[in-house]
Amino acid sequence: MVCAKSQVLDEKGIKILKALAEFTEPATCKQISEKSGVPVKSVIGKMRALVRAGYVERPEKGKYIITDKGKEAIKK
């Protein structure tokens, strides 16, 4: 059985979190895509799972920030 955490934190998830960690203000999926190299549609699809898992927060519609949990995940 595959762990849900590993599905959220796959290669794309890690790239997205690392890119998001570089922003000082909430970022859009397009901005995250440009910084991470992950296609916008993939970023959009992955963000819902990252928010649900607590790695990312959405302080306003269409903008995202990394949480402390997300920062810890990319340190490993």
pTM: 0.88
Q: Tell me if residue 5 falls in helix, strand or coil.
A: helix
User: With 0-12 CB in 10 A as exposed, 13-18 as middle and 19+ as buried, what is 50?
Assistant: buried
Structure tokens at 38: 């992950």
Partner residues linked to 56 by β-bridges: 66
**pLDDT computed for residue 4 by the predictor:** 53
**pLDDT computed for residue 8 by the predictor:** 87
Partner residues linked to 27 by β-bridges: 64
| Whole-Å CA distances, 39 to 1, 25, 76 | 28, 21, 24
Q: What is the pLDDT along the chain (76 residues), one digit of tens a residue?
A: 344 556 889 999 999 999 999 999 999 999 999 999 999 999 999 999 999 999 999 999 999 999 999 999 999 6
**pLDDT computed for residue 1 by the predictor:** 38
Please tell me the total count of domains within the chain.
1
Range(s) of the domain holding residue 21 = 4-75
> Residue 46 sits in a domain of what CATH number?
1.10.10.10
